[in-house]
């Protein structure tokens, strides 16, 4: 039974398209995140939600919009995709903010062509 | 600006020997540190953590050491096993804040 699941695992799309990645956690956690792992392999935070409220929004283009319909879900919508958006996107959740480990989904490899 | 640095991109160790993975940080506000392990095509999985009030935490074959004055931590795996071959990420959390700040990772290869 997967704790943090995200779909799809692979996504290939053309420049200019709009796409969404879905994430769900069944751990009862309050906080959810989106991380991006770029070609240099850095894992960087994009967004953080706590009980459906946006608490962290790093310098991410506004073409990226997270949506949290409830605290178990955090979806990522990306408009007008660009080549540079190609990366692996990881969803994660943690019990609360602060000193606690985060649990990660398997990742979504997005390739923009 | 990299706040968490893992300066060795890769490490090879023979099975049964000790693996030592290093991590340095620059942000003195970090007070909780974690190690994650990542296999290809999977998400990172939590391995072990340490609070800044401690200098050592042990869990089975895994031990993390923290040297606050040097802003350095290390992960020791002993004995190393082939299944330990993965990318290991060091991560840190600031006092009273999230989220995790990651290093670039070190690829460990344990050779049978």
A103 touches chain B (CB under 8 A): yes
Q: Do B99 and A105 touch (CB under 8 A)?
A: no
- Give how many domains chain A has, as a whole number: 1
> Which among A45, A101, A107 is the nearest to B43, CB-wise?
A107
Do residues A42 and A52 touch, judged by C-beta distance below 8 A? no
Which of A99, A105, A107, A108 would best serve as a mutation to test chain B binding (most B beta carbons within 10 A)?
A: A99
Residue B97 has what pLDDT?
63
Cβ atoms within 10 Å of A1's Cβ, excluding its own: 4
Chain B neighbours among A 71-90 (CB < 8 Å)?
90
- Report the pLDDT value the prediction gives residue A54, as an integer from 0 to 100: 86
- Structural contact between residues B41 and A107, judged by C-beta atoms closer than 8 angstroms: yes
What are the mean pLDDT values of chain A's consecutive 10-residue runs (113 residues total)? 91 97 95 91 89 82 93 96 96 83 95 97
pLDDT tens, position by position, B15-59 = 999 999 999 999 999 999 999 999 999 999 999 999 999 999 999
What is chain A's Cα-based Rg?
13
The helix or strand, by DSSP H or E, that contains position A41, with its residue range, turns out to be none
List of chain B residues whose C-beta atoms are within 8 Å of the C-beta of residue A4:
43
DSSP B32: E
Nearest CA among B35, B77, B76, B69 for reference residue B52: B69
CB-nearest partner of B102 from A4, A42, A56? A42
The full set of domains in chain B, from first to last, is 4-111 (2.60.40.10)
Q: What is the CATH number of the domain that holds A32?
A: 2.60.40.10
Residue A16's domain comprises 4-112
């Amino acid at each position: 039974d997967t704790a943090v699941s995200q779909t799809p695992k692979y996504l290939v799309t053309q420049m200019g398209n709009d796409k969404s990645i879905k994430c769900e956690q069944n751990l009862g956690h309050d906080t959810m995140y989106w991380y991006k792992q770029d070609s240099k392999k850095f894992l960087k935070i994009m967004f953080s939600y706590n009980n459906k409220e946006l608490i962290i929004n790093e310098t991410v283009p506004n073409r990226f919009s997270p949506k949290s319909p409830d605290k178990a879900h955090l979806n990522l919508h990306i408009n007008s995709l660009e080549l540079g958006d190609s990366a692996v996107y990881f969803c994660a959740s943690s019990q609360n903010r602060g000193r606690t480990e985060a649990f990660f989904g398997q990742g979504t490899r997005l390739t923009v062509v | 600006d990299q706040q968490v640095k893992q300066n060795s991109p890769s490490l090879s160790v023979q099975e049964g020997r000790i693996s030592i993975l290093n991590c340095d940080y620059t942000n003195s506000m970090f007070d909780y540190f974690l190690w994650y392990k990542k296999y290809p095509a999977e998400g990172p999985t939590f391995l072990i953590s340490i609070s800044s009030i401690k200098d050592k935490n042990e869990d089975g074959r895994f031990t993390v050491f923290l040297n606050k004055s040097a802003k350095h931590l290390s992960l020791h795996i002993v004995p190393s096993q082939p299944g330990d071959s993965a990318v290991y990420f060091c991560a840190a959390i600031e006092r009273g804040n999230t989220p995790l700040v990651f290093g670039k990772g070190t690829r460990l290869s344990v050779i049978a």
